[in-house]
Every structure is written in C-alpha cells, then in structure tokens.
C-alpha cells in the first residue's frame, strides 16, 4: 500500500514538474543543456561487444555519464555482428564495437552516423605453454599462424563473426592459409564467446586469438595456456595488425524515429572527451598491473 501511494505521489510530482517546466519555458528563455536532477533518468540502450563489458571497463566509466546526463544506460553485450544488427533494427541507440570494415559498411548503409575512434586494445595469440608448433619468438601474427598451420597444431576460432573472429580471418588471409573447420582437421570454429573459446583451447591444447583484456581477466583459470605472440604488455605488441580500434556510432534517427538521438550523440561526445579518455587509460592498472585499453 505504501509503495503504491508513494508511486502515485511521484507520478503526480513528475506531472506537476513537467507542467511547471512547460509553463516556464513559455515565459522564460530555454533552460540550459543539463537537466534538473529531479527529473527521472532517460533510458538509453548501448549495444557493444562482450570485451568492453566482460573486462569491467563499462562498469568503471559509465556511472560518470549516467550522473552527468541523468541517463540510465542499458548495456547489451553481444558479438560485433549482433551489436550492429541491434543498431540496424533500431533496438539500440548507440553501438560501441571493433570491426572497422563492418562499421564503415554500417555507416555507408545509413544505419549509423558519424563514427568516431574511441580507443584501441590489442589482440594476442595464446596457446599451449609447451608450444608444439614452435611459434614463440615470432613478433608478427600472420607468420605465426602459418607455422601453426604447417605443424597442424590445434587452433580454436571464435567462428561467430565477432570482431575478434573478423580479425582472425584477416590474419589468416595475410598468412595465405585458408583453414575450414569441418575438413582441415586441426581448426575448430567454436561458434561461441571468447571465454568459451579460451576454455576449449585450454582443454584441447589449442592456439587461439584473443583480446588481451579477456585474457588478463581469465588467465587464472587457464593453466595450460600462455601468451605466444604479442608480448606480456600492450607496449610490447609490435604487430600493427594486432591493434584493435574501437569505434562509437550513434544510430541514425532518420531510419528509426524512436531512437534517443540526443542522448546517443551526447554519449559519443562524452566517451571521446579528454576526461573519459583519462579514465580509460587508467582502467586495469590497479587490477592487472597494466592498462587494457589505449584511448585514441
């Protein structure tokens, strides 16, 4: 009973408040951009890849945005493919992903507007500590993959068209090997997330391509694996092909009128602002002893 009365009260208060606001906006000049804190927060949906969520980055930086703009951000962490699809269908207001070609295509088709660079993290190749394909020492990913293929050592692929999977396919293209899951024999397209693919690699003594953030967060439960290519720290990764840039793209409100276009644009501006960049640069130092992302 109490809660009901309370909610009735708050609805009443909100109605009165907006009525007052409407009146005042007639009489006085428009209020400033920052809304009054008493207004209920606006919901916004962010479709992003699992890496930003699973590493804990979003949990660390989002409260700042929500406070500043009186917003509530609903995070849907999925593969890049599905994240872009969510934007395409108008089920998300803004996307934060890392698959440059697909992102450009998304913008070119008019589903998103004004892509901006946010940050990079890097990919590494991890594999069995015994390194059966003798890859260790290789600085570049493509020749390393070649060696794995020549040794017919097990390789676990995400196989889900995610950003990581797209990157892996690009690297195979450079290495001039075309492995196919069903026929190659040592190449396994797992078709699941990074965590599951790492688990598979750990169980089956396989190499795999992973983003460093997921690796650092999960390496304690993967006793059979270690870093083979990419170095122990981001700065030691000398292969430009292993760099992984993230972009933020607000969904085009012209395609879907119910999109929260203003808030989405504010989010894009906020996440590329110097203050947020500072936070991104510091994220992970405390927990893993190194930064997981480098702001652009």
Closer residue to other proteins, CB minimum distance, 161 or 243: 161
Decide if residue 226 touches other proteins (CB under 8 A): no
Distance of alpha carbon 138 from alpha carbon 117, whole angstroms = 29
Region binding other proteins by CB under 8 A among candidate stretches 131-139, 160-168, 231-239, 286-294: 160-168
Pairwise CA distance, residues 167 & 209, whole Å: 9
The verdict on 102 binding other proteins (CB under 8 A) reads no
Task: Give the residue with the Cβ less far from other proteins, 203 or 287.
Answer: 203
Which residue in the set 82, 175, 218, 244 belongs to the binding site for other proteins (CB under 8 A)? 82
List 88, 103, 138, 211, residue binding other proteins (CB under 8 A):
88
**Dist. CA 148–CA 138, nearest whole Å:** 11
Q: Which is nearer to other proteins, 225 or 242 (CB)?
A: 225
Q: How far is the CB of 50 from other proteins (least distance, A)?
A: 10
User: Shortest Cβ distance from residue 47 to other proteins (Å)?
Assistant: 10
Virtual CA dihedral for 264, 265, 266, 269, nearest 10 degrees?
A: 130
Q: With CB under 8 A as the contact rule, which of the stretches 4-12, 85-93, 257-265, 267-275 interacts with other proteins?
A: 85-93
**Least distance to other proteins from the beta carbon of 188, Å?**
5
203 binds other proteins (CB under 8 A): yes
Which residue in 17, 53, 120, 224 binds other proteins (CB under 8 A)? 224
Q: Is 204 in the site for other proteins (CB under 8 A)?
A: yes
Residues of span 169-188 touching other proteins by CB under 8 A: 180-183, 188
**Position 119 contacts other proteins (CB under 8 A):** no
Per-residue interface string for the shown chain with other proteins, residues 40-79, x marking contact by CB under 8 A? --------------------------------------xx
Q: Does 95 bind other proteins (CB under 8 A)?
A: no
Nearer to other proteins, 91 or 262 (CB): 91
The yes or no reply on residue 161 touching other proteins (CB under 8 A) is: yes
Q: Is the CB of 189 or the CB of 291 nearer to other proteins?
A: 189
Cα angle vertex 48, ends 209, 216, to 5°? 40
Reduced 3-state DSSP string for the chain: CHHHHHHHHHHHHHHHHHHHHHHHHHHCCCCCCCCCCCCCCEEEEEEEEHHHHHCCHHHHHHHHHHHHCCEEEEEEEECHHHHHHHHHCCCCCEEEECCHHHHHHHHHCCCECCCEEEEEEEEEEEEECCCCCCCCCCCCHHHHHHHHHHHCCCEEECCCCCHHHHHHHHHHHHHCCCCCHHHHCCEEECCCCHHHHHHHHHHHCCEEEEEHHHHHHHHHHCCCEEEEECCCCHHHCCCHHHEEEEEEEEECCCCCCCCCHHHHHHHHHHHCCHHHHHHHHHCCHHHHCCCCCEEC
* Binding positions for other proteins, rule: CB under 8 A: 78-79, 81-86, 88, 159-162, 180-183, 188-192, 196, 200, 202-204, 224
């Amino acid at each position: 009973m109490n809660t009901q009365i309370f909610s009735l009260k708050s609805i009443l208060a909100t109605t009165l408040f907006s009525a007052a606001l409407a009146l005042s906006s007639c009489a006085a000049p428009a209020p400033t951009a920052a809304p009054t804190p008493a207004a209920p927060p606006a919901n916004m949906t962010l479709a992003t890849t699992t890496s930003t969520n699973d590493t804990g980055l979003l949990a660390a930086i989002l409260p700042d945005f929500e406070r500043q703009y009186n917003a509530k951000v609903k995070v849907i962490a999925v593969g890049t493919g599905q994240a872009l699809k969510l934007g395409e269908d108008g089920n998300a207001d803004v996307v934060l992903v890392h698959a440059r070609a697909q992102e450009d295509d998304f913008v070119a088709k008019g589903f998103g507007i004004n892509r901006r660079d946010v940050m990079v993290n890097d990919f590494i190749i991890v594999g069995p500590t015994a390194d059966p394909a003798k890859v260790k020492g290789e600085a570049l990913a493509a020749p390393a993959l070649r060696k794995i293929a020549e040794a017919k050592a097990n390789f676990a692929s995400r196989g889900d068209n995610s950003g990581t999977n797209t990157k892996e396919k690009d690297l195979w293209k450079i290495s001039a090997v075309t492995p196919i899951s069903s026929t190659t024999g040592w190449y396994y397209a797992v078709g699941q997330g990074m965590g599951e693919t790492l688990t598979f690699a750990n169980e089956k003594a396989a190499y795999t391509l992973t983003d460093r953030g997921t690796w650092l967060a999960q390496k304690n439960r993967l006793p059979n694996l270690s870093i083979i290519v990419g170095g122990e720290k981001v700065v030691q990764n000398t292969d430009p092909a292993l760099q992984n840039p993230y972009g933020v793209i607000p969904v085009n409100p012209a395609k879907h009128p119910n999109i929260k276009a203003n808030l989405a644009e504010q989010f894009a501006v906020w996440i590329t602002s110097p203050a947020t960049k500072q936070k991104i640069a510091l994220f992970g130092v405390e927990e893993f002893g190194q930064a997981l992302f480098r702001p652009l």
